[in-house]
Chains A and B, each alone.
Chain A
Amino acid sequence: MNREQLHARPIPGKWSTLEVVCHLADFDPILADRIKRVIAEEKPSLVGADENRFAAALHYHERDVEEEMAIIDNTRRQLARILCKLPAEALNRIGVHNERGPRTLEQLLTGAINHIPHHVKFIQDKRQALGLKS
């Protein structure tokens, strides 16, 4: 997608594609940090983050899509390397989210896995609205 397409908000009230990618790049390290804390600490506190405040304050339309993708790639490769070394029982480890309460490592990891597919659906909608092939 070119710059204009990345910046377009073809569906009223919804983010642009670049804003979605920046959101994913901002939250992948946050989700990874929570997972790391649950692995390394005993019932750590996990702090929520407001995606709309992030999008409003962190200059998403001034950012570079390839840099954002690199953050996602590197975050996932690094965490996967850690997860490979864990026993299955580690999936039962727990952290306490300040908004959602106790969360197991499995729940946190599954949430991180579902995050991109969740947003890919919305990017597909934007592509269709822009007349791009899906």
Chain B
Amino acid sequence: MIPASRGREPPVNDERAQLFSRHRGLTPPARLIPSNSPDYNDDTSAFHTGSIIMATMNELIESYLEGPKLLRPRLRA
């Protein structure tokens, strides 16, 4: 799921770098400036709205890549 942290500088650590390196050489972008987009609350469905939780681009990409890892274990007997 998405960490609620846009607006603060993402922690730079080895764990993050390792996560990206595990995904076929993806390189995390350099420090990103938090965007100033407003909160969104224009839909009753958190799934379709994308939710009001803010995250950095790095965190969004990490969460996006984590999706299949959530799914695969549920397909095992």
Identify the A interface with B (CB < 8 A).
1-2, 5-6, 17, 21, 24, 65, 69, 72-73, 76-77, 79-81, 83-92, 100-101, 103-104, 106-120, 123-124, 127, 132
- With the chains together, A71 CA to B32 CA distance in Å? 29
Give the size category of B's interface with A: 35 or more
Q: Which of B34-77 contact A (CB under 8 A)?
A: 34-37, 40, 42-43, 46-51, 53, 55-57, 60-61, 63-65, 67-68, 70-72, 74-77
Q: Is the interface of A mostly helix, strand, loop or mixed?
A: helix
* Shortest Cβ gap from B74 to chain A (Å): 5
Query: Are A80 and B26 in contact, with the CB atoms below 8 A?
Result: yes
- Please name 13 pairs of A and B residues whose Cβ atoms are closer than 8 Å in the assembled complex, sorted by A: A69-B72, A73-B68, A76-B67, A81-B26, A84-B61, A87-B32, A88-B33, A88-B34, A88-B57, A104-B50, A110-B53, A115-B47, A120-B70
CB within 8 Å for A109 and B77 given contacts A77-B23, A77-B65, A87-B32: no
- Give chain B residues whose Cβ lies under 8 Å from the Cβ of A65: 75
Q: Is the interface of B mostly helix, strand, loop or mixed?
A: loop
Query: Are B50 and A91 in contact, with the CB atoms below 8 A?
Result: no
Q: Known A-B contacts: A72-B67, A76-B65, A119-B71. Give 4 more (CB < 8 A).
A: A17-B75, A21-B71, A116-B67, A120-B74
Query: Are B64 and A109 in contact, with the CB atoms below 8 A?
Result: yes
